[in-house]
Amino acid sequence: MRKALLDWFAEHGRDLPWRRTRDAYAILVSEVMLQQTQVSRVVPRYLAWLERWPTAASLAAALPADVIREWQGLGYNRRALNLHRAARQITERGWPDDLTDLPGVGRYTADAVRAFAFGKPVLPVDTNVRRVQERTGRRFDSACAQALFDLGATVCLGRVPRCRICPLAVQCPSRNRRYEPLRRQPPLEGSFRQRRSQTLRLVAARARPLAELDDEAVAALRDDGLVEVTGAVVRLPV
């Protein structure tokens, strides 16, 4: 099964820019951007980000306001501030032995950087990897990581897997099963998430009087460190 997976990946693997580097900072940027965001949206933003801030030191020197503006459109904007804080920590102290000591870095992201940048024999287990392993009943080694990502993202899909074209189907005990989605994302339209996003977009364009804005959204953004309120004016942090 391992050979079938790797042979399939050699022919069908996605050509993604973060797969062409071993630079730990670049890989960290990609992994943080990819959290809850589609690959197709991330690729152009990743390239633009690294063109603007090619090193951890260059990002560390940036203003938080500029970092938030550059992140606009990727969603879950706290990731931008966490990445900025991580860059400052790396610049000041170097890469920690335990990468989960970096702001916003959990077990999966830490393992991904360890595997893809530092060459450690660890398999980063995200939703796609976990799904393939659970359905096949097999455990794969770190060399299979990128292949598992792609198989889970394009073939072994969450609800209706494409078993007809799966390289593992012959040996897979879950072949031709169908699944209920584990979790449905609440609609964005009319949600508080949308209100927060719209409010942050307005403040990113220019500082605005609090009276012009959604005060509940402002309070939530302020709690996350994404805006500052000075008197009656709301602006991005500096």
pLDDT at res. 104: 94
pLDDT at res. 190: 72
Alpha carbon distances (Å) from 158 to 1, 110, 167: 20, 24, 17
The yes-or-no answer on residue 70 being catalytic is: no
Span 74-83, mean pLDDT?
94
pLDDT at res. 191: 84
pLDDT at res. 180: 78
Question: Which residues, in sequence order, are CB contacts of 95 under 8 Å at separation 6+?
Answer: 24
| Catalytically annotated residue among 31, 70, 189, 216 | 31
pLDDT above 70 covers a percentage of the chain that reads 97
pLDDT at res. 36: 87
CB 151 within 8 A of CB 168: yes
In a 3-state reduction of DSSP, which class is residue 146?
helix
pLDDT at res. 94: 97
Span 1-23, mean pLDDT?
97
pLDDT above 90 covers a percentage of the chain that reads 89
Where would I find the beta strands (DSSP E) of the chain? 208-209, 228-230, 233-235
> What mean pLDDT value characterizes the chain?
95
**Are β-strands 228-230 and 208-209 bridged in parallel, bridged antiparallel, or unpaired?**
unpaired
pTM of the model: 0.92
pLDDT in tens, 106-125: 999 999 999 999 999 999 99
Partners of 234 in the β-ladder: 208, 229
Helix (H) / strand (E) element for 229: namely strand 228-230
pLDDT in tens, 160-208: 999 999 999 999 999 998 887 766 666 767 788 889 999 999 999 999 9
pLDDT at res. 24: 98
pLDDT band at 40 (very low <50, low <70, confident <90, very high): very high
List the domains of the chain with CATH numbers: 23-116 (1.10.340.30), 192-235 (no CATH)
Span 21-42, mean pLDDT?
96
The C-alpha atoms of residue 14 and residue 37 are separated, in whole angstroms, by 17
Structure tokens at 198: 């719209």
Decide if pLDDT at 9 tops 90. yes
Decide if pLDDT at 213 tops 90. yes
Decide if pLDDT at 222 tops 80. yes
pLDDT at res. 178: 85
Compute the half-sphere exposure of residue 40: CA atoms within 13 Å on the CB side of its CA: 2
pLDDT at res. 182: 65
CB 102 within 8 A of CB 92: no
Span 130-156, mean pLDDT?
97
